[in-house]
Amino acid sequence: MKNKILKRLICTLSLVLISFSLFSFPLYNFKNDTLSSSGYKLRTVIIDAGHGQNPPGTGGHFSLGASGSCSNERDVTLAIALKLQTAIEKDMPGVKVVLTRSTPEDVSWERRSEIANENNGDVFISIHCNSLPDKVEYSHGRRIHVPDRSGKGVLLLVYGFHRTKEEESVIRKKLNEDEAVDETGNGGGDPNDPTTVILMNAIKTKYRKQSIHLADLINTEFVDHDGRHSDGVIEQGVLVLCHSAMPSVLVETGFINNPDDEAYLNSQSGQDEIVASLVRALTNYKKEVEDAAE
């Protein structure tokens, strides 16, 4: 019994030590790596405007998003994404912005994460609006749907642990493409190579931590600076996030089916406030990861 516990402890300790050595020494060389490399700079921000309308001549399979009484999520997310691009290009010199969609037309979630990965994004910010489903009530024995407008404020999502297998295959692809090797010539994307497995786990852990940290920074700006209500940071399996091999956050900017939030989300001042908070959080995040890599 005791022996078993001791064995497990030694095993855990050696894994921890291996992880530490991974973080301390640059072991591999794929470009834009956020894991090791001293002198790392955050260069590319991917901005993802959630949803979109059906491209002409197509039917189905497109995600129109939620709607309020006078506006649609897909239009609000695009307006905020375009403003965010302008603000980052103005206030964060040296940082390039790539949009996953810049027109009203929808882009599939697979294509969105492809765009993010192809452009070697350092972070992925997905912009959405929240909405509550109708409540079902009974009146005189009849089922009726009653709009639930009680949701308000922001919510930040990062991908949950149960989805990281999908992220793994994206990271493995990235390792393969960049022909990552360590000093002994091991590594790369071979899933049976223990070095790959260790690298993969270290990268996954790092992305997850960085995603949660960035989400916390954004949440703090919304709450402390803008005085908004927040449902906090939660982990959830979000397809577009877990297929992007980089720290990723989905920002629910407000409840579009709550009249006060909808007015705020559609106002110039509301959109400007959301954008300014995102830029402050990204600036703080950039400084922290770059300082840590020095």
Q: Is 128 in the site for Zn ion (CB under 5 A)?
A: yes
Sequence-distant (6+) residues with CB within 8 A of 126 are 48, 50, 238, 240, 241, 248, 249, 250, 251
The count of residues interacting with Zn ion (CB under 5 A) is 3
Minimum separation from the CB atom of position 77 to Zn ion (A) = 7
Confirm or reject binding of residue 112 to Zn ion (CB under 5 A): no
Q: Kindly tell me which of 49 and 203 has the beta carbon lying closer to Zn ion.
A: 49
Q: Cβ 97 to Zn ion, closest distance in Å?
A: 20
CB of 107 to Zn ion, least distance (A): 13
Name the burial class of residue 101, with classes exposed (0-12), middle (13-18) and buried (19+) by CB atoms within 10 angstroms of its CB.
buried
Residues in CB range of 162: below 8 A, 6 or more apart: 237
**Contact call for residue 286 and Zn ion (CB under 5 A):** no
Check residue 50 for interaction with Zn ion (CB under 5 A).
yes
**Does 270 interact with Zn ion (rule: CB under 5 A)?**
no
CB of 101 to Zn ion, least distance (A): 13
Amino acid at 196: T
260: its two tokens: 């006060």
Q: How far is CA 283 from CA 107, 183, 216, 289, in A?
A: 28, 34, 13, 10
> CA of 280: how far to CAs of 105, 158, 225, in Å?
29, 19, 10
Binding range to Zn ion, per CB under 5 A, among 7-15, 57-65, 206-214, 217-225: 57-65
For Zn ion, which stretch binds (CB under 5 A), given 5-13, 63-71, 114-122, 133-141? 63-71
Residue ranges in contact with Zn ion by CB under 5 A = 50, 65, 128
